[in-house]
Amino acid sequence: MNITIAQKIFISIAAILLFSFINGVYAVYTVTKSANAADIVATDLANANTVMSRINFNNMYLQYTILGYTMSATQERYDTINKLIGELKEDLDIYEKYVKKPRTKEHSPRTVAEFAAYKQDMLEYLSIVENNTTLIKNVKPVEDSFHKNTDKMVEEVQNGLKAVNNNEEYINAISALNNINTITLGVKSNITEIILTRNLSLMKNITSVDDDLKRNLAYLQTLDSPRALVNAVDNIEKSFSDANKNIGEIIKEYTKIVDVEKQRLEYVKIAREDCTKFGGYVTNGVERAATNVSDTLHQANIVMIIFFIIMVAVAVFGIIYLQMSVIRELRKFIKSVGDLTSGEGDLTVRIQAAYKDELHELAENFNKFIANVQQIVQEVKEAADDVASGNNQLAATMEELATTFNSQTEQISSIVNDMQTISQSSQDSSKNLSEVLDIMHESSEQTNHGQEQLGVVKSSIMEIHEKADNLSKTIDELAESSKQIGEILVVINDIANQTNLLALNAAIEAARAGDAGRGFAVVADEVRKLAERTTKATSEIETIITTLQQESEKASKEMRASGEAVVRGVEVIEDTSKSFEHVVTGVDKAVNNTSSAVMGVSEQNCLIQDIDDKTQVVASGVEESNSAVSEVALTVSHLQERAEQLKNIVKQFKS
């Protein structure tokens, strides 16, 4: 059976690739399996370790919050404690899920075995914390009541001291009150210290001072004291009784709290030890998982080395096989082709192949190709002669076309220059007409504005005419009033003359009376003088009124003349307004005609520009045709040279 070169190469490469694929697949499978196993175990153990760290942190934070709640039992700290307890229980359930996984049991068996006991201890510990917190919360109202009663005792002591007001008769009462105050503050301090330190042995200090306080109260009750002091002592005794009850309840509750605290602290110690222990278990489990992965990878490396050795052996065998059956024959074929190409172009030589494979087929096809080339070379020789002859004729034709195109180019260039001159003139005309149109638009606007101003002036003059008429009427009324005032002045002048006569008569009668009429004579003389001044003032007013009447009449005449002038001005303005209307109409017609002229010039300019553009296109086309003819001429010249070269090349082949 004959095996082709492609089959030989395929078999060799397929064998190498097969062993490489098997080796790679096994390596990837082994590494992936080991990595997944290690990753799962490490992830689970790391998550478990994270949860355990959170449990440890929340536990420490819980201790800190409990300590703060002991000192200040606020609702916020109470809520925080309950929240931490809930989180710890939740984390215990999460940790239990991790440790119960099969891989965790495999790599960290002690963690699974001991976690159940640890969880039970933690739940009991959390129950103790809840109980402890509840006890502290329940005793808080009693503590508040105790502090309230002791504060009341101190307050009543101060009231008692105010009642005796440092009176020397009550020096012993003052001493007893001060003793009660000191004892009360001491008891309050001891109770506070018991609450903070949980040291119940301090109760003996409270018991020892209890009798002293009772003795001082009994002494105060025997005194003949003011009513305020008696009331203060009664209130102190009542508050002392209530405070004693509070102390009993506080001691009772804190005895329970101390016992619970001892249990809580024992569980805290156990929880810390268990956290450390579980951390070690997790570390050991991770190390054990890493060791298993390392062993698996070591085994995989050994298997991969074996596969690699087999793959190298197969590759060496395949190379030797290809060297013997393919490469050696291929070199013979290359040598035969080299002999053919390095000769003097002898196309009669043929290649011989020894084996019935692709090289044999290639030699046969190559021989056929050489035979075809031999025939083509003969045809090329004949075609080269024909091309050389045709190129000579084409070159002559191209020269004639080039001469014709050059002449057309010069004529079109002259036309383009003339069109550009016409276009420039048209543009200048359009520009001048546009400027004239702008000026006419401005004139039209000014004319319209002047017409509007004439209307305003006409309105103003009519208003002046109306006001002048009103003023003329007012002046006439003023003249009439002046006449009435003149008539009144005549009456006043008559009265003044009569008064003067009466004063003269009174003076005569007073002279007749002698000394008895002297005072009356003085009065009569004053009346006479007043009458004379009145007459004089009346004459002056009459003169002024006369002048006013004359001026009013003159102003009235002038106002009438002004009114007539205003009427004439209105008529002139109306005539001017009509003239302006004719001017505006003429300007509008001129503007319209100029606009039409501008549009016509613009259209003419566009047509000229269009003709210029088309002429430019024609010129460009002629130039391009001329360039194309030149290029064709060059190409023909080049083809002629190539034809000569082709003749020389074909002559080298032996056909």
More confident residue, 88 or 601: 88
Could you tell me the pLDDT band of residue 541, with boundaries at 50, 70 and 90? confident
Q: What are phi and psi of 346, to 5 degrees?
A: -85, 105
CB burial class (10 A; 0-12, 13-18, 19+) of residue 609? middle
Report the pLDDT averaged over residues 419-427.
69
Tokens read off for 158: 């101060």
pLDDT tens track for 137-170 = 888 888 888 889 888 988 988 888 888 776 766 7
What residue type is 58 in one-letter code?
A: N
pLDDT tens track for 218-242 = 888 887 777 888 888 888 889 888 8
Report the pLDDT averaged over residues 529-536.
75
pLDDT value, residue 233? 84
* CATH number listed for the domain at residues 5-313: 1.20.58
Location of structure tokens 């391009």: 624
3-state helix, strand, coil in the chain (%, to 5): 95, 0, 5
In this model, does residue 316 exceed pLDDT 70?
yes
Q: Which of 93, 84, 92, 82 is nearest to 131 (CA)?
A: 82
Report the pLDDT averaged over residues 493-514.
75
pLDDT value, residue 322? 66
Report the pLDDT averaged over residues 28-34.
60
Choice among 101-115, 239-253, 381-395 with the minimum mean pLDDT: 101-115
Report d(CA 48, CA 54) in Å as an integer: 10
Q: Is 654 helix (H, G, I), strand (E, B) or coil?
A: strand
Could you tell me the pLDDT band of residue 251, with boundaries at 50, 70 and 90? confident
pLDDT value, residue 302? 80
> 391-425: string of b/e by CB count within 10 Å (b at 16+)?
beebeeebeebbeebeebeeebeeebeebeebbee
Report d(CA 524, CA 537) in Å as an integer: 20
- Could you give the percent of the chain with pLDDT greater than 70? 58
In this model, does residue 24 exceed pLDDT 70?
no
Could you tell me the pLDDT band of residue 522, with boundaries at 50, 70 and 90? confident
**Per-domain residue ranges of the chain:** 5-313, 361-652
More confident residue, 49 or 232: 232
Could you tell me the pLDDT band of residue 511, with boundaries at 50, 70 and 90? confident
Choice among 13-17, 124-128, 236-240 with the minimum mean pLDDT: 13-17
Tokens read off for 104: 């965790």
pLDDT value, residue 652? 60
pLDDT value, residue 130? 84
In this model, does residue 189 exceed pLDDT 60?
yes
pLDDT value, residue 278? 62
Report the pLDDT averaged over residues 343-365.
66
Please tell me the number of Cα atoms within 13 Å of 146 on its side-chain side.
22
Report d(CA 374, CA 382) in Å as an integer: 13
In this model, does residue 119 exceed pLDDT 80?
no
- Could you give the percent of the chain with pLDDT greater than 90? 0
In this model, does residue 178 exceed pLDDT 80?
yes
More confident residue, 574 or 151: 151
Report d(CA 591, CA 436) in Å as an integer: 9
pLDDT tens track for 210-219 = 777 888 888 8
How many residues does the structure list for the chain? 655
Q: Which of 122, 117, 45 is nearest to 87 (CA)?
A: 122
- Architecture of the domain delimited by 361-652: Orthogonal Bundle (1.10)
pLDDT value, residue 471? 66
pLDDT value, residue 583? 63
pLDDT value, residue 156? 87
More confident residue, 437 or 51: 51
In this model, does residue 34 exceed pLDDT 60?
no
pLDDT value, residue 249? 84
The whole-angstrom distance between residue 44's C-alpha and the CA centroid of its chain comes to: 43
What residue type is 361 in one-letter code?
A: E
Tokens read off for 80: 């925080």
Q: If you average pLDDT over every residue of the chain, what do you get?
A: 72
pTM value is 0.36
pLDDT value, residue 294? 65
In this model, does residue 595 exceed pLDDT 80?
no
Q: Is 199 helix (H, G, I), strand (E, B) or coil?
A: coil
pLDDT value, residue 519? 72
Residues 6+ apart with CB under 8 A from 525: 503, 507
pLDDT value, residue 494? 75
pLDDT value, residue 8? 60
Q: DSSP letter string over 383-441? A: HHHHHHHHHHHHHHHHHHHHHHHHHHHHHHHHHHHHHHHHHHHHHHHHHHHHHHHHHHH
Most confident of 24-33, 253-262, 483-492, 644-653: 253-262
Report d(CA 535, CA 14) in Å as an integer: 158
Report the pLDDT averaged over residues 602-609.
71
pLDDT value, residue 3? 62
pLDDT value, residue 465? 67
Is 377 in contact with 646 (CB distance < 8 Å)? no
pLDDT tens track for 340-353 = 666 555 666 666 66
Report d(CA 410, CA 184) in Å as an integer: 132
Could you tell me the pLDDT band of residue 414, with boundaries at 50, 70 and 90? confident
pLDDT value, residue 293? 58
Q: At what angle do helices 203-222 and 171-197 cross, to 10 degrees?
A: 160
In this model, does residue 464 exceed pLDDT 80?
no
DSSP 8-class letter at 610: H
Could you tell me the pLDDT band of residue 106, with boundaries at 50, 70 and 90? low
Q: At what angle do helices 109-164 and 75-99 cross, to 10 degrees?
A: 170
DSSP 8-class letter at 344: S
